[in-house]
Structure 1
Amino acid sequence: MRQETPERSEWVARKFLYLVAGLIVLAIAGALTYRFYGNDLIRMTLVPKEEFRAQPDVPGKAYDDRAMWLARPDLPGNPALWTPAGFAPRATPGGAAIFFIHPTSYVSRDHWNAPIDDAETNDRAALFLRGQASAFNEAGEIWAPRYRQATFGAFLTSVADAERALQLAYEDVDAAFDSFLRQIAADRPIILAGHSQGALHLTRLLRDRVAKDPTLARRIVAAYVVGWPVSRATDLPRMGLPECTAADQAGCLLSWESFAEPADLSLIVDTYDMTRGFDGQPRRGTPMVCTNPLTGTADATAPATANLGTLFPAADLSTADLTPARVPARCGERGFLFIGEAPDVGPYVLPGNNYHVYDYSLFWANVRADAGRRLAAWRPVKKAAKRASGKRR
């Protein structure tokens, strides 16, 4: 495996950012064209034309090999250990074990699923870990698996091949989660987190694993399902954790999707309203879970002064500075998170004033504080459960 170096990391950052900028220009083909044909152009540009190719399952215990991970405690050059000036990763053993599922970093239309050893795709994923998973590195040790992720275009079509691609990706994530559980202490607290495609796979882990295993559920400090909609009515009751309603609550779920104003929500809402929830009922018209990351509570509004720090990229795009009190947040229509006038945090805002790429970095310092607060709240809950168990015996 190729080792990360500061020089290579900087080069990868520049290459990725320029690539994304080019893709956006090509995809929307100018503001006027996008206004009339934008979503269709994006689909034409990014949805694969080939048929889905079935692939074998990952071998048993494959994820016991550290080469299958982008981040884990014993991995040299761990990108999740990055921090802006004034912050540092946890310096003492302990804390939580964090299982982080990275967002889509494969944008090719050549295949429905990324090759797990694709260097360019994994370099992009590592960049995402620097800006997203790093928010959790004070709370404990971060584990982030490589997986045969579905390509970006799989989210822009309803063809059956897209579902097959996502299923393959989820099976890798599920296998990685098994290995993660085997390699951490049996009583270690766990934080689950993901973004975008990673958050989608996290919803299934919650439904399929956490909701069906009370012992595992008691170990969950919090689940950060960020950049993917969760229906309060049709999804949440089947996911094994309640919605976080208090800032110091443990064992609960957070979710948000960020838009500046004016916002065009149509691409998300139209897709969401055509789907069914985990209970089999239509999601149409149901509200989404909205956690305000500035307050850690549901359906809240907070001014920019409550923002402890947003990541703003440096001029050379190799790092970022943390600036407080610049971005407000309020939960609004249908459960989307609105951040007011569009902040200039980078050029990768998606059509409709969708700040999806920046869901974590807009609130990086608040997410960091939130994870620490919930971990501190989890410990007394665990001690109380042990005392109660001892009395019953």
Structure 2
Amino acid sequence: MSEKAGVDYSDPYNWLYLPGISKEVDVFYVYPTVSSHESGSMPIADEGDRALARGFSATEASVYEPYGNVFAPYYRQMTSRVKMEDDDKLISDTKAFKQGARDIQDAFEYYLEHFSGGRPFILAGHSQGTMTLIELIKNRFGGDEELRSRLIAAYLIGYTVTDDDLQKAGLTAAGGAYDTGVVITYNTQSPSAVGSFVLMEGAKCINPLNWKTDSTYAPATENLGARFYNVETGEFLREVIHYADAQIDPKTGALMATIPADEDLEPLPYFPKGVYHRYDYAFWYRNLQQNVGDRINIYLQKR
């Protein structure tokens, strides 16, 4: 499959999730970085990478599955082997990332034309998946009022969303638990963590325990349940109620979390200790799931 040819999204093989339609709303979900292929781009036909995409997606897309028909394309994502030649260069400026972002836009356009049936939808992603969706909303939503009117919410988790991104998309950041047509975003780390390439200046943030955007503290008693999986296989491991508290650092835009003292969570490669990027969904799983249902119900009631 050549870069010029793109991905044929009329072929079901190129969709990770291609559901039957049983619900009133859809979810267009994009998985995070799973591939370490030496070429720098995930080969969609690589069975190992496809299995990893399924495993990671099971841990996150399951937040949305009770409420929506989940569509998720495979895409030629930038892999963890991509090296930055210039320390000041943004990941989003690399050729490998741009190819994957184009795939996601192509998949979304195919979804709109052939699958959506005019239904309202949620956008959802994590990490590189969120990065591709940021590009999508900037390129596609700003000039399309009808498309924006069908957006229930965009859960763009695990990467920096800025005011400039939102302005280009014609969207606003969520201001509470129940607004619709908005962007929900945050990046999780410990109070002592320093440095994270997914958290940059101007990052917007909402607290998924109390749904506030200021530094109001949310105790762990407000945490409805953290849910942990083996991300490589999608196997469920455990669920813990009242797992972690949450508070926004207004200076950095980080979502700070204090986890139980007996937990020792290793960061992903390339991330400093205390950056809980891998657990952006896991820590707040049940609160996120409840919020998805709430926003859908409110959107449908307003129609």
Cα RMSD for the two superposed structures: 2.5
Deviation at 1:119, TM superposition (A): 1.1
C-alpha distance in 1 between matches for 2:117 and 2:194: 45
**What is the one-letter code of the residue matched to 1:125?**
A
Q: How far off its partner does 1:187 sit?
A: 2.8
Between 1:222-231 and 1:177-186, the stretch displaced more is 177-186
Matched, 1:293 2:208: yes
What displacement does 1:150 show? 0.5
1:368 match: secondary structure: helix
Q: How many residues align?
A: 293
Which 10-residue stretch deviates more, 63-72 or 338-347? Answer: 338-347
| Aligned residue runs from structure 1 range 171-210, under 5 A | 171-210=102-141
- Distance in 1 (alpha carbons) for counterparts of 2:22 and 2:229: 30
Q: 1:216 to 1:265 in 2, by over 3 A?
A: same
Paired with 1:144 and 1:360, the residues of 2 have a C-alpha distance of 17
- Which residue among 157, 181, 187 is the counterpart of 1:251? 181
Displacement after TM superposition at 1:359 (Å): 0.4
Q: TM-score, normalised by structure 2?
A: 0.88
* More helix by percentage: 1
Matches of residues 83-102 of structure 1 in structure 2 within 5 Å?
A: 93-102=22-31
- After superposition, the Cα gap between the structure-2 partners of 1:345 and 1:174, relative to the gap in structure 1 and judged at 3 Å, is farther
Alignment correspondent of 2:16: 70
Structure 1 residues 48-63: aligned runs within 5 Å? 55-58=3-6, 62-63=8-9
Contact 1:116 1:147 (C-alpha < 8 Å) held by counterparts: yes
Question: Are the structure 2 counterparts of residues 122 and 70 from structure 1 closer, same or farther at C-alpha, using a change threshold of 3 Å?
Answer: same
Letter matched to residue 65 of structure 1: D
CA shift for structure 1 position 380: 2.8
CA distance in 2, matches of 1:301, 1:221: 27
The 5 Å alignment of 1:85-234 reads: 93-108=22-37, 110-154=38-82, 156-158=84-86, 163-232=94-163, 234=164
Q: Cα deviations across residues 341-389 of structure 1 (Å, max 9, x unaligned)?
A: 46737544542311101101111111111111101111133x2xxxxxx
Aligned counterpart for 1:376 among listed residues 292, 297, 302: 297
Give a deviation string over 1:65-105, Cα, whole Å, max 9, x none. 2111111214xxxxxxxxxxxxxxxxx92232000010011
**Counterparts of 2:220 and 2:90 in 1: how far apart (Å)?**
43
Equivalent residue in structure 1 for 2:276, among 339, 355, 360: 355
* Aligned partners of 1:236 and 1:243 also within 8 Å: yes
The aligned residue for residue 195 of structure 2 is 265
Q: Find the residue that maps to 1:362 and give its secondary structure.
A: coil
Gaps of 5+ in 2: none
SS in 2 for 1:230: coil
Contact 1:261-1:341 within 8 A present in 2 as well: no
Question: Does the C-alpha gap of structure 1 residues 166 and 313 become closer, same or farther in structure 2, counting only changes over 3 Å?
Answer: closer
- Counterpart among 216, 227, 248 of residue 311 in structure 1: 227
**Residues 222-258 of structure 1: CA deviation (Å, up to 9, x unaligned):** 00110010123x3221122111102111110010100
Name the SS for the 2:36 alignment partner. Answer: coil
Q: Which has the higher contact order (CA 8 A, sep 6+)?
A: 2
Gap change, CA 1:356 and 1:172, over 3 Å in 2: same
Q: Which residue is 1:337 aligned to?
A: 255
Alignment partner of 1:256: what SS? Answer: coil
Q: What 5-or-longer segments of structure 1 have no aligned partner?
A: 1-53, 75-91, 273-285, 384-393
Q: Shift in Å at residue 317 of structure 1?
A: 8.5
Give the 3-state SS of the residue equivalent to 2:203 in structure 1: coil
**Per the alignment, do residues 313 and 100 of structure 1 end up closer, same or farther by CA in structure 2, a change over 3 Å counting?**
closer
Over 3 Å counting, the alpha-carbon distance change for 1:157 and 1:223 in structure 2 is farther
Which residue type is aligned with residue 323 of structure 1? V
Distance, in Å, in 2 between the alignment partners of 1:223 and 1:304 is 25
Give the Cα–Cα distance (whole angstroms) in 1 for the partners of residues 6 and 43 of structure 2: 12
Q: Which moved more, 1:177-186 or 1:155-164?
A: 155-164
Query: Does the 8 A contact of 1:261 with 1:342 survive in 2?
Result: no
In 1, Cα distance between equivalents of 2:253 and 2:272: 19
1:265–1:352 Cα contact (<8 Å) kept: no
> TM-score w.r.t. structure 1 length?
0.69
Q: Name the aligned partner's letter for residue 177 of structure 2.
A: A
- Report what 1:11 is aligned to: none
